[in-house]
Amino acid sequence: MNYIIPIFILITLIIAVIKKVNVFNSFAEGMKEAIKLTVNILPYLASVFILVELMRASGLSLMIGKAVAPALTFLGIPKELAELLILRPLSGSGSLVFLESLYSTYGVDSYPARVASVIMGATDTILYISAVYLSTSKEKRSGLAIPISLIASFVGVILASWLCLIM
Partner 1 sequence: MIMPSMLKGVESGANFALKLFVIYGVWISIIKLLEKSGADKKIASFLSPFAKKLFKNESEDAYKFLTLNLSANLIGMGGGATPMGIRAMESMQIKKNRIMLLVLNSCGIQLIPTTILALRAGLGATTNIILPALIVNLATTVVGVVLVKVLVR
Closer residue to partner 1 (CB): 70 or 109: 109
Among 106, 105, 120, 101, CA closest to 160: 120
Under the criterion CB under 8 A, does residue 99 sit at the interface with partner 1?
yes
**Residue among 74, 96, 102 at smallest CA distance from 161:** 74
Is 19 an interacting residue with respect to partner 1 (CB under 8 A)?
Answer: yes
- What's the min distance (Å) between Cβ of 56 and partner 1? 8
Q: Annotate 101-148 with three-state secondary structure.
A: HHHHHHCCCCHHHHHHHHHHHHCCCHHHHHHHHCCCCCCCCCCCHHHH
Does residue 62 belong to the site contacting partner 1 (CB under 8 A)? no
Residues 106-125 that bind partner 1 (CB under 8 A): 108-109, 114, 117-125
Residues 120-149 that bind partner 1 (CB under 8 A): 120-126, 129-130, 132-139, 142-146, 148-149
Q: How far is CA 18 from CA 7, 12, 21, 23, 128, in A?
A: 16, 10, 8, 11, 38
Residues contacting residue 73 through CB under 8 Å, at least 6 positions apart:
79
| 29 is a site residue for partner 1 (CB under 8 A) | yes
Q: Residue 90 interacts with partner 1 (CB under 8 A)?
A: no
Segment lying near partner 1 (by CB under 8 A), choices 48-56, 60-68, 74-82? 48-56
CB 129, min distance to partner 1, A: 5
